[in-house]
Amino acid sequence: MYIESMSYEIEIIEGDITKSEVEAIVNAANNKFWMGSGVAGAIKAAGGEFIEKEAVAKGPVMPGEAVFSTAGSLPYKVVIHAAVMGQNLKTDARLISKSTVAALNIAEELKIKSIAFPAFGTGVGGFPMQACAFNMINAVHEYSRHAKYIEKVVFCLYDSFGRALFQNYLDKIEKR
């Protein structure tokens, strides 16, 4: 299911982000870009270790910032690595919003038309899924007013619980 936003489409799906039909995917990363488990591990397993090596070479950065790497053997133009947390592996609402915008900024700079995000910080970072949905949907919705190249933003959630929370919040924000 999708809903038209101000200048791009926002879609909520359930599944494996490495199989998303977009031009770029986003990795929920730490600020040194080591790719261990969760979304990062799935991206590394599907696309190869070169993704991690290239990202690590661009770090460390401050939490809330983002970099991009090639996509290895994945079919994407790039993988955008958003530093949702520092080395303490903790995150908060501010970092989630800031990282979301940083990833969107890179997508705009690279003229990416479609991008898929996971739920930032809800795995290792321990951030509540409902609060994540609130922060990420708000950031993406607000950013839509400024986008020139992005046509579609996909939130790819691991399970039906996450998908339902993101969809519920998107439905609420679009009714405003």
Domain regions of the chain by residue span: 2-174
The pTM of this model reads 0.94
Which residues 6+ apart lie within 8 Å of 123 measured at CB?
Answer: 28, 37, 38, 39
Quickly count helices (H) and strands (E) in the chain.
5, 7
pLDDT band at 4 (very low <50, low <70, confident <90, very high): very low
pLDDT band at 6 (very low <50, low <70, confident <90, very high): low
The answer to whether 106 and 27 are in contact (CB under 8 A) is no
- 27-58 residue pLDDT tens: 999 999 999 889 999 999 999 999 999 999 99
The burial of 125, by beta-carbon neighbours within 10 Å (0-12 exposed, 13-18 middle, 19 or more buried), is given as buried
- 83-111 residue pLDDT tens: 999 989 899 999 999 999 999 999 999 99
- 121-159 residue pLDDT tens: 999 899 999 999 999 999 999 999 999 999 999 999 999
Amino acid in the structure at residue 69: S
CATH number listed for the domain at residues 2-174: 3.40.220.10
DSSP string, 44-98: HHHH-HHHHHHHHHT----TT-EEEE--TTSSSSEEEEEEEE-TT----HHHHHH
